[in-house]
Amino acid sequence: MNPQEAYDELVKRSRELFTVGTINALVGWDQRVNMPPAGIRQRGQMAAYLQEMAHRKQSDPRIGELLSAAEQGQWEAGPAANLREWRRDYDQATKLPPGLVRRRAELTAAANNVWQESRASNNFGAFAPPLAELVSLSREIADHLGYEGERYDALLDLYEPGLTTADVDAFFADLRRHVAPLLERIVASPVKADRGLFRNAEFPEEAQKSLGLAVTRALGFDYAAGRLDVSTHPFTTSFGRGDVRLTTRYDRVWPFQSLMGTIHEAGHGMYDQGLLEDHEGTPLGETVSLGIHESQSRFWENNIGRSRAFWQYWYPRFKEEFQGLVNHVTFDDLFRLVNDVRPTLIRVEADEVTYNLHILVRFELERDLFRDALRPGDLPGAWNEKYQQYLGITPATEREGVLQDVHWSWAYFGYFPTYSLGTVYAAQLEAALRRETPDLDWQMAAGDFSAAFRWMRENIHRHGKQYRPKELIERATGRPPSASDYVAYLTGKYSEIYRL
């Protein structure tokens, strides 16, 4: 078989795998949004069957033969990137026994259901046994995949290719060195947001939904190719660029939880909708990494959604949606509330300055789990100690502590650091966008968010996996990935708000 024939067959097989993956994603989405509790046993069997089928297709020895043949050809950048990613996927798949893949699917389906019940009842003890199984199973997966440094490296690499524990340790040390002094100055500032302005107010869910839909539609999310639902923990699932599902959750006394969460998920969704249709089902039609994915959600949620120009446009609509509830809240009051900096317990509600401390807690706990320096059953105590150490507060309940995130129930160990990577990437992307669009704030204040949307389409979305994350950031911004733009962004913005 010549290289072109081998490549063409790999494209066909890749698109078959994509179809199986989208069916599996639909099964998972339905479990988290619609499924009745009694359906969990059968749902676990469905997920296990689909994941086992996908693994069997992905590890088929015939793919290895096709790759070897196709790799003999001379390829342009696009097909070469597809071959690079297919080789990576094949090498990983062939290292994992089918039985291990099936066990993971069955266990995560069951564990997610237990997590939801445990979170609702504030009972970590019920979740501890399946969590311990998931940690043990993830150790097996890491050992099968292999690693040069330490076991946790193999898990990090699944979400951000090439990322290591040592990288993340250094990354957080650098962030803390720059951000900790800023946080101290903010906490000491006499300028404070007045949360009492919302005292006794209840914000109707329908009004919150109306505002969230209007905002995300204006930012660029296409609801002809997507929808918004409710789940315990907000997430985004894509079944292809024509069907991208967002979820959010509503808090009747704090409308920003839903609004910022919906914007965050729409950022993910716009990335999925911006992939090139011609490449759907191949790596060139896939998002490049979780860090880049999070750069999109964090960019729209924070760099845009918490900006002064954004609220200059949306402040009147905010008052209109909630009518008499917020008439006494001035623009400056609202802007300070949206950018209120204070240590809190819940990651998804955290401000920009303290957010990475929440991720640092999770990273260190995961790192220690896979160094065998921490047992899963000891997580609640370790969690509380780290929150006291880094944020000066301690959860009163397990629901607002160790049970708050869905990730561990899906065995997403290694995922959390990508949130912080994405936050730093987002600031670097924004800086490049502003260099090219000096009147960006004027446009946004007038309700036009198309410049940012088009810039992301051109510089991030359309490339799929043609470039690895670091190269993509450098191509988009003209500079290697760095925290310097993020530090400058935080320092400039919050020095102004808190009059430092």
pLDDT tens, residue order, the chain (500 aa): 899 999 999 999 999 999 999 999 999 999 989 999 899 889 889 988 999 999 999 999 999 999 999 999 999 999 999 999 999 999 999 999 999 999 999 999 899 989 999 999 999 999 999 999 999 999 999 999 999 999 999 999 999 999 999 999 999 999 999 999 999 999 999 999 998 999 888 999 999 999 999 999 999 999 999 999 999 889 999 999 999 999 999 999 999 999 999 999 999 999 999 999 999 999 999 999 999 999 999 999 999 999 999 999 999 999 999 988 999 999 999 999 999 999 999 998 899 999 999 999 999 999 999 999 999 999 999 999 999 999 999 999 999 999 999 999 999 999 999 999 999 999 999 999 999 999 999 999 999 999 999 999 999 999 999 999 999 999 999 999 999 999 999 999 999 999 99
Q: Is 152 helix (H, G, I), strand (E, B) or coil?
A: helix
Q: Domain check: are 119 and 213 in the same one?
A: no
Q: Is 228 helix (H, G, I), strand (E, B) or coil?
A: strand
CB–CB of 336/496 below 8 Å? no
> pTM of the predicted model, to two decimals?
0.93
* Tokens 């079944």, residue located: 239
CB atoms within 10 A of CB 241: 20
* Within-domain flag for 419: yes
* Within-domain flag for 147: no
Phi, psi of 425 (to 5 degrees): -55, -40
Assigned token pair, 467: 């470039």
Q: Domain check: are 118 and 170 in the same one?
A: no
> Which CATH number is 282's domain given?
1.10.1370.30
Q: Give the domain-ending residue among 70, 104, 125.
A: 125
Residue 280 bears catalytic tag: no
Residue 75: per-residue pLDDT: 96
CB–CB of 452/304 below 8 Å? yes
Q: Domain check: are 188 and 120 in the same one?
A: no
Give helix 417-436 / helix 484-497 axis angle, nearest 10°. 80
Assigned token pair, 134: 């998931």
Q: Domain check: are 277 and 397 in the same one?
A: yes
Pairing outcome for strands 244-248 and 226-230? parallel
Q: Domain check: are 74 and 188 in the same one?
A: no
Q: What residues contact 30, with CB distance under 8 A and at least 6 apart? A: none
Assigned token pair, 180: 């900790």
Q: Domain check: are 261 and 332 in the same one?
A: yes
Sheet hosting strand 244-248, strand order edge to edge? 226-230, 244-248, 236-238
Residue 348: per-residue pLDDT: 87
> If we measure between CA atoms, which residue out of 297, 208, 213 comes closest to residue 254?
208
* Within-domain flag for 150: no
Q: Domain check: are 330 and 233 in the same one?
A: yes
* Within-domain flag for 133: no
Q: Give the domain-ending residue among 104, 125, 146.
A: 125
Q: Which helix H or strand E contains 471, and what residues bound it?
A: helix 469-477
Pairing outcome for strands 236-238 and 226-230? unpaired
CB atoms within 10 A of CB 459: 18
CB–CB of 423/299 below 8 Å? no
Which residue stretches of 94-202 are H helix? 98-121, 124-145, 151-159, 165-188
Q: Domain check: are 417 and 360 in the same one?
A: yes
Q: Domain check: are 113 and 191 in the same one?
A: no
Q: Domain check: are 95 and 188 in the same one?
A: no
Catalytic residue among 265, 301, 398, 430: 265
CB atoms within 10 A of CB 92: 18
Q: What residues contact 383, with CB distance under 8 A and at least 6 apart? A: 361, 365, 395, 401, 402
Q: Domain check: are 342 and 204 in the same one?
A: yes
At 439, which amino acid appears?
D
CB–CB of 203/253 below 8 Å? yes
* Within-domain flag for 109: yes
Expressed as residue numbers, the domain containing 199 is: 165-497
* Within-domain flag for 239: yes
CB–CB of 264/213 below 8 Å? no
Q: How far apart are CA 153 and CA 135, in angstroms?
A: 14
* Within-domain flag for 454: yes
Q: State the total domains in the chain.
A: 2
Assigned token pair, 192: 């404070």
* Within-domain flag for 138: no
Q: What residues contact 160, with CB distance under 8 A and at least 6 apart? A: 289, 290, 291, 417, 418, 421, 469
Phi, psi of 236 (to 5 degrees): -125, 135
Q: Domain check: are 404 and 453 in the same one?
A: yes
